[in-house]
Structure 1
């Protein structure tokens, strides 16, 4: 019997406020299942005293799902209750009720109330569509071994949690020295548990000891995880991101591998919200601070001598080891039992089949006191020794590629980036990449999901080794050139995506020190947006690296080229950070045009993030510069942004003069799309001021002009506002609803979750104004279900609208 899901329960709990019979029935079910004072009983009391609160509903739903997982009878009761309580579009006249035992879903006809032993079985309604189940764990070497005792210990920890009195998340910290094989051990263990994680297995490298770029920020990782589960609207604040992550994962059976963590604070926001989740954290530190989060700990020791020899044998062959067993044991000992060191040394020997193991042992022994002392202090001196010996035997071109790649700000790269870093052809880059993989200096990852090509990455110790060698053997000019070539590749690719996705924005110059010999191209706008989405973190890493080297023109130009990423996907944290960096660089470069662009584009990010006062300040600075320069188009842009910021802050009368002047200027210079966007905002303000006829005129003109300019997204926005204005101007709810439904379909096609929710809210307002409170409630609840995971502010507004549907009697929230 399939369980009732947390999203199903949450939707039903929200809908229970609309049905007099639904709430008491659930109270009886929960009280029978709860123990006095336990979490479930407390969540029930909280939900009863805060009706209509979506967050209380989500909390109760998660606890109910967890309790039902071990009680089939409770699952059946909840299934029946969900079917009776979930709002439907066609039950506004009468809320049907069912008594008895039933399991009903799908196409079912019911006429008013039914009581008795009713048994009707059908397929359950499908949940929201999701992409493929994420399976992100790194591949495990075929010769993995020597870790049986570690695997038994980890399994014992898992069974201890699984056998507890109630479901509880398992959080395991695997610690040990660098190169000891923590990641491989964790990946092997979790790969074997795939059947226990039907909802997915996630992986991220937290870069706790990365030589460049620094540790990953929790918000960076949360965005990656949320997108893996289909979230398209990621909040900007870390607290909201973490709350959304817990909501999305509530009730899911998933595993998460947080690799290479630096601190408990870095890990804590990334913990999922499901009692059925399994989180494994690997770190060189013990991270005892996670004990307060219920973590258990396992320390990984170096391989025993016999296991290290077995790993060496699997890599170089039993025949060679059998001929020189003592030398093999000496090599294993000099590698200190660290699998990474053994693997690097073995790859070196495998590449030279005629070289004896005795020679290799002597070389390792000779270099035991080699450099890179900071890594030696972390227990990786054996790795350094093995790396030095492997590097010494590389051909000159492969050695140079190793150093060039070690200096880069990106942690994962393909042959295009490698070719740029090395200043070679792609074919040459692919050859040296294969050589580096062959000697275990580079990891070959899964193919790129967007481009389809192979991707590569360094272990962080190997990357540190390569970067250190570059600092010793290459000139500063050569190192800067290797990084600048990669910056220019990313700038060119982002600019190509910008030209496809937002051609009207693609107006400022691009300067390349090294014009890419192999520019990235895109088949269509969809592929361009996918690339921007998948590369967003690398784009930010490249941006920060360019800023650190004071390549000011490259910084503001890359920020400008990333505009469609910010506009379409709304990563507000990256949007505001990038424009802060870009604005500083534009000022330092003394480029007034770039400074104005950074101010208006960055102001839009602040405005959309709800930081209206800061946005108004940025637009005001841009306006001042535009007037000083006599730049009419920039002046109109700043006025529009300033007016829109004031409107969103609730200052309607102050907004109108700015927008009116922006419209005049845009019409004077023939900027039709810009004029249409300003009319759209003025139409919205006219509605808010109670002037629906004026709003209809403005919005109709805006819609027609935006369609003529092939701006489908903003044309849909105009249609949504037009539907609301039409209802008020003509008193025709049916015609208004038709317009709003069309707008909803256009936003579904565009994939805009925020505007889908907004249009549903408009539909609810239209129904409420027409006196149909039941239909209004249905629309508000559907809107709330979209808003709740991504915007607490919007969710509270929708909850208040539900409360207001019955101001003269018992509220919907208290039924």
Structure 2
């Protein structure tokens, strides 16, 4: 309303006459275009802006028989008092009379042409004067006309809850379900996609079932899997404009009007993993080149069936594409009812999963790349790999969930393995647990013990970093047993390292030392220098906790040297940090500060802000030990900034508190 109403007002005194202004309120079906237009008209007339009143015509553009301009002009002439014998006999004369009346009409009038689906419905009806205003509503954007567009979006969550609450209270002010069931109300509005039409239907259903709670409707919708099926089944009324309160016909009419290529893309996009999809991923889904996919997406966006999301990453255009939840559910239903469309959809899902596997594998190779290894394709550096993974993350994680379906299980398990390092790097531990579980269950189901062991390993790492050390110990024990059974000595050694780390986090330090010594020995026997460095690094941490500080310093020194020899700069930095901690514990504060400085340089080089925050915290503590409070305070403040960049607000707040303690 804030964008539309002020523009309907008359020109300020003394200002030049405005040219003919045509406004188009656009948005998907059911979003409230007509309601907004009518409310704006009421408010504008109440302000005295349109002494000539409002002329309203419902063009029924999305019905089976839309109103033509020739039919609409008869209704407008009738509203202007031209009827019976005064009505001209020919269509051309009718238009002439209509335009003449508007030209001669001195009282400013607002013409509302509602529910247009094609410019041919409204172009002949535009007045030949700039004195009046025209307001058009449509599901399609008339981009090629000089029209001021106002695109409507779904309601904000708070506004959705307020709409349902108000509808229930209007019927019965004693209805306290919204206040008693705030969580259920929020979930209901989310299931309705915050679409006003769906919310109106849900509210009507709640009014009718006034002795049942809101949660019962939520449960019914979730069990059905398709909100439109439940809401349409429960809908029995009409809105204030005499239109039936039903969702599916609104979506079906929009879908049926699409050209075949756009209809196909809409169906396939409904099957895409994640809620937002890059044009590149859409192209893979539809087996098109990216430019062709973009063109079709832009056409669908003009019909408000697809929404562009600005500022997205992972896409050449910087835009991602999203379906409204109810449109997605409708598209899934269209596919499910036709065997040929089901096969078309399954083939599309295979393509996008293959696309994700290829580039996630390349991105993972870049994240783990060391000098001397082959250069990964596509991604020139870590920043490019992380940018792509960040942009596609929601789709990647969602695609792994397809591991539960036999057709996609193998590729989904491979994809899960490619995401483990990235999700750990971004500290996305919940996603890591979700991905690890899906891969573990699928690998177990099709009897691939080696991949199952890998999945247990990745799941255990995510559990450990999420603070669930006991579960992590169990996961790494499972992985170790599977590697042993498969005769994979390298995998077994990795599992012993991970088990040792989890045992230390669980407070079982003695067992952790034993496990890590076992890992170190296995790597030494197998010649795995990089794995040996990991074992030494973690052994040093366990030894330090066990009070064996001198041995810990030696262990971290060995780890640092091995990482340097392997060219692994990032892990070298971790070893420097751990060495600094051990040196400080040993009372060698000057050497500790130097070690922390080495790690901080590497963390900043890799933009590892969480690691930088940890190192700055350790450096601050070292300055405290050296009785340098101003240096300590500066390091704590820098640590807070680094943790903030790493999306670790708890650690950032704690660092600020410690900084204040230095004042």
The partner residue of 1:684 within 541, 564, 577 is 541
Which string of whole-angstrom CA distances, capped at 9 and with x for unpartnered residues, describes residues 528-578 of structure 1?
111112222121222224435663222321211112321211111111111
- C-alpha deviation, 1:585, in angstroms: 1.0
Distance 1:593-1:181 versus aligned 2 partners, 3 A rule: farther
The answer to whether the 8 A contact 2:29-2:250 is kept is: no
Question: Paired residue for 2:601?
Answer: 745
- Name which of 630, 648, 658 aligns with 1:790: 648
Q: Which residue of 1 aligns with 2:262?
A: 398
Distance 1:445 1:753, change over 3 A: closer
Q: CA deviation at 1:705?
A: 1.5
- 419, 423, 428: which one aligns with 1:562: 419
The alignment status of 1:716 with 2:573, answered yes or no, reads: yes
Range with greater deviation from structure 2 (692-701 or 176-185): 176-185
Residues 694/586 of structure 1: CA separation in 2 closer, same or farther (3 Å cut)? same
**2:332 corresponds to which of 464, 467, 489:** 467
- Cα 1:478–1:520, aligned 2, differ >3 Å: closer, same or farther? farther
Residue in structure 2 matched with residue 703 of structure 1 by the alignment: 560
1:388 shift after superposition? 3.9
1:806 aligned residue: none
Distance 1:182 1:768 in 2: 67
Alignment of 1:85-100 (within 5 A): none
What residue is the counterpart of 1:593 in the other structure?
A: 450
Matched, 1:648 2:505: yes
**Residue 280 of structure 2 is aligned to residue 419 of structure 1:** no
Q: Report the secondary structure of 2:310's partner residue.
A: coil
Name which one, 1 or 2, has greater alpha-carbon Rg.
Answer: 2
- Measured in 2, the distance between the counterparts of 1:396 and 1:322 equals 32
1:722 Cα deviation from its structure 2 partner: 1.7
Q: How does 1:614-629 map to 2 (within 5 A)?
A: 614-629=471-486
Deviations 1:589-615 (A, max 9, x none): 211111110111111111112211111
Aligned to 1:485: 351
Residues 793 and 618 of structure 1: CA distance in aligned 2, closer, same or farther (over 3 Å): farther
In 1, the alpha carbon distance for the partners of 2:311 and 2:553 equals 51
C-alpha distance in 1, partners of 2:610/2:447? 38
Q: Distance in 2 between matches of 1:722 and 1:618?
A: 29
2:105 aligns with none
What is the aligned partner in structure 1 of residue 5 from structure 2?
Answer: 148
**Partner Cα distance (1:651, 1:798) in 2:** 32
Give the root-mean-square deviation of aligned CA atoms.
4.4
Aligned to 1:547: 404
Measure how far apart 1:148 and its partner are.
3.2
Match of 1:366 in 2: none
Deviation string 1:497-550 (CA, Å, 9 cap, x unpaired) is 11111248xx9xxxxxxxxxxx99434321111111222212122222443566
1:199-224 Cα distance to aligned partner (Å, 9 max, x none): xxxxxxxxxxxxxxxxxxxxxxxxxx
Superposed, which structure 2 residues align to 1:114-125 within 5 Å? none
Q: Taking structure 1 as reference, are residues 726 and 390 closer, same or farther at Cα in structure 2, changes over 3 Å only?
A: closer
Q: Distance in 1 between matches of 2:620 and 2:293?
A: 58
1:416-474 residue CA offsets vs partner (Å, 9 max, x unmatched): 32332223444543443344345554334436444332533333443344333223345
Deviations 1:265-322 (A, max 9, x none): xxxxxxxxxxxxxxxxxxxxxxxxxxxxxxxxxxxxxxxx977516749955753335
Structure 1 residue 385, shift from structure 2 partner: 4.3
Q: Partner of 2:321 in structure 1?
A: 456
- CA separation of 1:727 and 1:452: change in aligned 2, threshold 3 A: same
Distance 2:563 2:632 in 1: 30
Q: Distance in 2 between matches of 1:715 and 1:447?
A: 35
Q: 2:272 aligns with which of 383, 386, 408?
A: 408
**Cα pair distance change 1:460/1:728, threshold 3 Å:** closer
- Tell me the secondary structure at the aligned position of residue 409 of structure 1: coil
Q: Distance in 2 between matches of 1:653 and 1:424?
A: 58
After superposition, the Cα gap between the structure-2 partners of 1:496 and 1:184, relative to the gap in structure 1 and judged at 3 Å, is farther
Say if 2:640 and 2:653, in contact at 8 Å, map to a contact too: yes
Aligned to 2:31: 179
Q: TM-score, normalised by structure 1?
A: 0.51
Aligned equivalents of 1:183, 1:744: Cα separation in 2: 58
Compute the displacement of 1:783 (Å): 4.6
Q: 1:402 to 1:784 in 2, by over 3 A?
A: closer
Deviation of 1:587 after TM superposition, in Å, equals: 0.7
Residue 429 of structure 2 is aligned to residue 577 of structure 1: no
Question: Measured at CA, do residues 744 and 414 of structure 1 come closer, stay the same or move farther in structure 2, by a change above 3 Å?
Answer: closer
How many residues of Structure 1 are paired with residues of Structure 2 in the alignment? Answer: 472
Counterpart-to-counterpart distance in 2, 1:778 and 1:430: 49
Q: Is 2:510 aligned against 1:632?
A: no
Written as runs of structure 1 = structure 2, the 5 A alignment for 1:129-144 is: none
Q: Please state whether the residue corresponding to 2:350 is helix, strand or coil.
A: helix
Using a 3 Å threshold, how does the CA distance of structure 1 residues 635 and 151 change in structure 2: closer, same or farther? farther
Given the alignment, which residue of 391, 409, 422 partners 1:534? 391
User: Is 1:673 matched with 2:477?
Assistant: no
Contact kept in structure 2, 1:146 and 1:307, CA below 8 Å: no
Contact 1:662 1:678 survives alignment (8 Å): yes
Corresponding position: 1:436 with 2:300: yes
Give yes or no for the alignment of 1:659 onto 2:463. no
Deviation at 1:784, TM superposition (A): 6.4
User: Shift in Å at residue 779 of structure 1?
Assistant: 4.7
Gap change, CA 1:614 and 1:314, over 3 Å in 2: same
CA distance in 2, matches of 1:414, 1:632: 41
CA pair 463-792 structure 1, distance change in 2 beyond 3 A: closer
Q: Quote the Cα distance in structure 2 between the aligned partners of 1:182 and 1:654.
A: 70
Could you tell me whether the CA contact under 8 Å between 2:312 and 2:391 is conserved in 1?
no
| Matched position secondary structure for 1:410 | coil
1:534, 1:590 → 2: CA distance?
Answer: 33
**How far 1:792 moved relative to its partner?**
4.9
1:655 deviates by 1.0
Please list, as runs of the form range in 1=range in 2, the aligned pairs for 1:342-381 lying within 5 A after superposition: 342-344=138-140, 374=230, 376=232
Q: Secondary structure at the match of 1:408?
A: coil
Q: Indicate if the aligned counterparts of 2:634 and 2:659 stay in contact, CA closer than 8 A.
A: no
Q: TM-score, normalised by structure 2?
A: 0.61
Going from structure 1 to structure 2, the CA distance change for 1:689 and 1:462 (only over 3 Å counts) comes to closer
- Equivalences for 1:27-46 in 2 at 5 Å? none
The C-alpha deviation readout for 1:381-422, integer Å capped at 9, x for no partner, is 677546544544544333333322233233333433233222
Q: 1:494 aligns with which of 360, 372, 384?
A: 360
Change (3 A) 1:623 1:465: closer
CA 1:382–1:306 in 2, change beyond 3 Å: closer, same or farther? farther
SS in 1 for 2:139: helix
Partner of 1:106: none
Relative to structure 1, is the Cα distance of residues 782 and 524 closer, same or farther in structure 2, using a 3 angstrom cutoff?
A: closer
Moved more, 374-383 or 430-439: 374-383
* Cross-structure match for 1:195: none
Q: CA deviation at 1:496?
A: 1.6
